[in-house]
Chain A
Amino acid sequence: MVDTAPTTTPAEQRAAKRHPGRAPKGYSMRTLPGFSVIALFTMIVLYAPIMILVIYSFNEGTSLAIWEGFSLRWYRQAAANEAVQDAAIRSLYLAFIASSIGTVAATMAALATTRTRRFPGKTMIYALINQPLMVPEIVTAVALLIVFATIKVWTGHTSMIYLIVAHTAFCIPFAYLPIRARLETMDMSLETAARDLYASPWLTFRKVTLPLMWPGIVAGLMLAFVISLDTVVITEFVKSAGQETLPTYMLGQLRRVVTPEVNAISTVILAAGAILVALFFRLTQRKG
């Protein structure tokens, strides 16, 4: 035998040239039959309803049935609706205050409960901070209703304060999570080094700990903000008359005929949420 038979066909050789380093497609243990199909189907199902909602929020007509052309009619209508304006401003105001206070409290608590020995009460503090996550929202909501209804009757006071404190308590565990995660990746020896280099405890915190944990704090703030914007059950039970937020306003509208106006508001909320989540991902994924 002079010539050995070529082990690869010319076609395979061309393919190999085009995709250097990639093995010809064949048996792979990482793919399970049918899994990819189900996965892609799932991803489509996950986005299709949202997409349809977004698309129809730009429909000129009232009905879903007929596409009558692109229009911002429903956005204009929502923006001109005083009830929507009022609810939107209240939602943002509430989210801003509750997430700010919640994040400050969560930051302090995270500093106290991470990177430490087991100190007396640590488990209790930890359990308390996570408590709002462990109880169904409807249960927290009616418990708050019971307490606040009594207080409202006694004092006659019905300001936003009830919503603010309820949202703040609910925001704390969400703000706490990313801050704690960030702190746990931080090298303790950096703070030790700062102390060694004559920084007082306060200066060590300001010059080293705070700048290093900052991305975690911002992530926590954004998460808390999103949570406050989304919270509907607690708000529904705690609010006094005339204190609609965007979600409770929408929930109320759903009892009547659904107009594309709700779709328009939903789209705005989705867009705002998506932006915040994208930022959140950027902040938490980047290490160091």
Chain B
Amino acid sequence: MAETGGYLPGALEAEAEKADTRNRWLLSLPAVIIIICFAAGPLLVMVLYSFLTPGDYGNVKWEFSLEGWMNTIVQRDIFDDTLMWADAHISIFWRSFSLSVITTVLTLIFGLPTAWFIATQPPGRRELWLFLVTVPFWSNLLVRTIAIQELIRNEGVINLVLLKLGVIDAPIQMMFTDFAIGFGMTYVYLPLMVLPIYAAVDKLDFRLVEAAHDLYASRWTAFRRVILPLIKPGIIAGSILVFIPSLGAYVTPRVLGGGKNLMFGNLIELQFGAGRNWPLGAALSLMLMTAVMIALIYYVRVTSRDRADG
């Protein structure tokens, strides 16, 4: 080898780095290809479809059209071609949004105390409680929705008990209402609220609460002025984690809401089924995806800021 050193400065490192990058890409390739072909790629195809003309029996005709996007919020009168607001769609958007907000608030009301309760248990019992909250979350969503149906349908447990007790004379119609959807979604998404708040409470330094009490704060003031601001990132994270799947929910509204009380997801399905308007379905899907993405970006911001702070 040469007299001094022998290698160009940085040559070995550059070589090693290049090989490392290549290997890492090769390793990632199977996952990347599968996801591009069968998850991410089809979304791009859907963008294309949203600008085409509906076919007569479903699918599309390869003619450019903006009707798909227009039809998301307006509709053309069949007789005189005038445009008017698509009231049906707008009411479905509103139902999706308001039910998602209600679900988020309800899960927060029940989830926050639950998360607090679990986080303040002695360490040994904490894991058991956490496990108990997690198990329903990982059990089949459809099965849990069916369980709610068994509870609230006209011949269901709640009506039975109320009838037996003589509180009511005829069963209350709960199935196929907005209430049913909101109740069902609160039930199925509750663990998503508990887990991030639990993580935040678990991280909470109780010496700060002691300090607040030491400085004459009452229990409530300490909660409002010290605890709440500190666990706020967890609350926001949990809220978004509940809001996102609620907005895109399909199974729960389909089972509990029936054919009339549609949500965003069911409206999309309709266009690929009876509606036979694939471009409109594609446009609606992209709208939903955009809404979810905005919520997600907010979520990432909140959680990464939280990480940077702590």
Contacts and interface: CB of A to CB of B under 8 A. Distances in A.
Dominant secondary structure at the B interface: helix
Contact of B285 (A29, A138, A165, A232): A138
A46 B247 CA distance: 21
Given A29-B222, A230-B140, A105 B116 contact: no
B187 interface: yes
A131 B36 CA distance: 9
B307 interface: no
Given A116-B24, A146-B278, A138 B265 contact: yes
Interface in B155-172: 155-157, 160
Given A139-B43, A247-B142, A166 B187 contact: no
Contacts of B245: 136
Dominant secondary structure at the A interface: helix
B262 interface: no
Interface string A103-126: 011101101110010011110010
A266 B10 CA distance: 62
Contacts of B20: 116, 119
A41 B45 CA distance: 47
Contacts of B153: 258
For chain A, which range describes its interface: under 10, 10 to 19, 20 to 34, or 35 or more residues? 35 or more
A266 B38 contact: no
Contacts of A269: 139-140, 143
B27 interface: yes
B136 A65 contact: no
Interface stretch (B71-79, B86-94, B232-240, B287-295): B287-295
Nearest to B213: A29
Contacts of B30: 104-105, 108-109
A258 B272 contact: no
B114 A232 contact: no
A137 B143 contact: no
B139 A254 contact: no
A41 B139 CA distance: 20
Contacts of B39: 131-132, 135, 140, 169-170
Given A30-B206, A136-B292, 16 more contacts: A31-B120, A39-B117, A42-B114, A63-B155, A111-B27, A128-B35, A128-B36, A134-B296, A135-B39, A136-B244, A138-B250, A149-B58, A247-B140, A251-B254, A266-B140, A281-B131
Sorted nearest first, the 3 A-B pairs with minimum C-beta distance are: A136-B248, A39-B117, A143-B42
27 contacts: A32-B113, A37-B113, A39-B113, A42-B113, A46-B136, A46-B187, A46-B191, A49-B151, A50-B147, A125-B31, A125-B32, A131-B35, A132-B39, A134-B293, A135-B292, A140-B42, A142-B269, A142-B281, A143-B46, A146-B42, A146-B46, A147-B41, A232-B141, A258-B150, A269-B140, A273-B138, A276-B138
Interface of A: 29-43, 45-50, 52-53, 56, 63-65, 101-102, 104-106, 108-109, 111-113, 116, 119-122, 125, 128-129, 131-132, 134-140, 142-147, 149-150, 153, 165-166, 168-170, 172, 176, 226, 229-230, 232-233, 237, 247, 250-251, 254, 258, 262-263, 266, 269-270, 273-274, 276-278, 280-281, 285
